[in-house]
Amino acid sequence: MQSVAEILLGAVLYHKEREFLKRVFKKVVYNKNHMVTLPTSQAESFSIESFRCGNCDQDFQARVITWVDVSRAPQVRKTLLRWEFNNIQCTNCGCRHFSGTPFFYEDFEEGLLVAVFPRIPDERGTVEATIREKYGYYPVLEYFYDMTQIWTLLYLQEHYRANKNLRALSRIGKGEERLTLILRFLKEDPLMIDIREKLTETFFGDATEDDLVDLLSKAIYKLEQMLPWPLDRRCLCGADLSKEFKCCGQQIDLDEHEARLSPLYIIYCPLCEESLAGASCEACGRVYTWKLGTVETAAAGAPDCRRNQEAPRELQDGSRSLCP
C-alpha cells in the first residue's frame, strides 16, 4: 500500500519540471520583495489517481488537482467554498465523492503555500519535514489537516475583501500580519471546533446558513480582539464612543437603537447601506461591538475578564454580558 508521503512525493515528482522552475523563480521574486511578470506556466497541476467507489465497490480513475495557484486561478476559491473542489465521479455508477487527495494551495500574491491534507497522514512529521525542505523558501508555509481550515481561511479573506466597514474597524493590520493571525486562529482557536460542526450541519441541512454566519462573525470579532458594547458609550480609556459611530463621513445617532442593541441587531448606514455593528475608539484603538453582547460599562467587559473566563456555550448568544 502506498503511504501518504509516497503519494505526495509522487505528485511532486510528477510535476518536477514545473516545481523546479517555480522554486528558482520564486526565490528571486521573494528575495527582491517585488513582483515581476509571471512566467506562462499553468496555474494548476493535476494527477490521475485510482479510487474505489464507496457505492458500487468498483475501481475507477479520476483527475485530481494536486497544486493550485489561486492568484492565477481565482475560480478555485468558489469551488472550495462550495465544497466542490476535487470532487470525483465514479465511471461505473456515476456516484460523486470527495477525493480526499492532499494538495498544495498556493496564493502567490500573499506569498502563501498551504499543504492541505483532508485527513491526517500517518507519517505527519516526515511529511511536514519533506515539504519544509522543498518549499521552506515561501514567506508563509502552512499545513492544514482539515478541509474546514481552508474553507474558513477563504471565507475570512473574502469577508475582509468585501466589507469596507470591517476593514475600517480592523486593527490587526493587513497583508502578512493579518494572514499570520488568521492562520493562528485556524490552528489553535477552540471556536474552530464549533465552526467545523456547524459547517457539517449546514452541509447536511441540519443547520441554517444564518447559524453559520453568526458563528463566523463571532470568529471575526474574536480575531479582532473586539469587546462587548458599553451602554454608557464610554471606552475603557474614557473617550466618547458615540462620536466614533459613523459611516460615509457622517455620525449616526444611536439613541433610537439603544434599547435594541443585541448580537442579532444591525444598523445600516443610510447612505451606503453597509451594515454597522460597533465602533473603534479614536484615542486608544479599542474596538467595541454589540455583536458580542452589551455591558453597562466597558470596565465590566474588560479583556482580562473575558480571557480567563469563557462564557458557557448557552450563554454566549443571548447574554447581555460576557462576564458575570
Rounded to whole angstroms, the Cα distance separating 239 from 71 reads 42
Is the distance from CB of 235 to CB of 283 less than 8 angstroms? yes
Compute CA distances 133 → 3, 127, 157, whole Å. Answer: 19, 10, 28
The backbone region for 11, taken as left when phi is positive above 0, alpha when psi lies in -120 to 50, beta otherwise, is alpha
The backbone region for 80, taken as left when phi is positive above 0, alpha when psi lies in -120 to 50, beta otherwise, is alpha
Under the criterion CB under 5 A, does residue 92 sit at the interface with Zn ion? yes
Residue of 38, 93, 120, 266 that binds Zn ion (CB under 5 A): 93
Total chain residues near Zn ion (CB under 5 A): 19
**What does the radius of gyration of the chain's CA atoms come to, in whole angstroms?**
23
Under the criterion CB under 5 A, does residue 272 sit at the interface with Zn ion? yes
Under the criterion CB under 5 A, does residue 55 sit at the interface with Zn ion? yes
Taking CB under 5 A as the binding criterion, the range among 37-45, 170-178, 203-211, 236-244 that sits at the site for Zn ion is 236-244
50 burial type by CB count under 10 A (0-12 exposed, 13-18 middle, 19+ buried): exposed
9 burial type by CB count under 10 A (0-12 exposed, 13-18 middle, 19+ buried): middle
Under the criterion CB under 5 A, does residue 200 sit at the interface with Zn ion? no
Q: How far is the CB of 232 from Zn ion (least distance, A)?
A: 13
Taking CB under 5 A as the binding criterion, the range among 55-63, 96-104, 147-155, 252-260 that sits at the site for Zn ion is 55-63
> What φ, ψ does residue 292 adopt, rounded to 5°?
-105, 15
Q: How far is the CB of 91 from Zn ion (least distance, A)?
A: 8
Q: How far is the CB of 101 from Zn ion (least distance, A)?
A: 17
> What letter does residue 68 receive in the DSSP assignment?
E
Contact string 281-310 vs Zn ion (x = CB under 5 A):
x-xx-x------------------------
Residue of 9, 216, 239, 315 that binds Zn ion (CB under 5 A): 239
Residue of 95, 183, 216, 254 that binds Zn ion (CB under 5 A): 95
Under the criterion CB under 5 A, does residue 56 sit at the interface with Zn ion? yes
- Measured from the CB atom, the residue of 129 and 271 that comes closer to Zn ion is 271
Residues in contact with Zn ion by CB under 5 A are: 53, 55-56, 90, 92-93, 95, 235, 237, 239, 247-248, 269, 271-272, 281, 283-284, 286
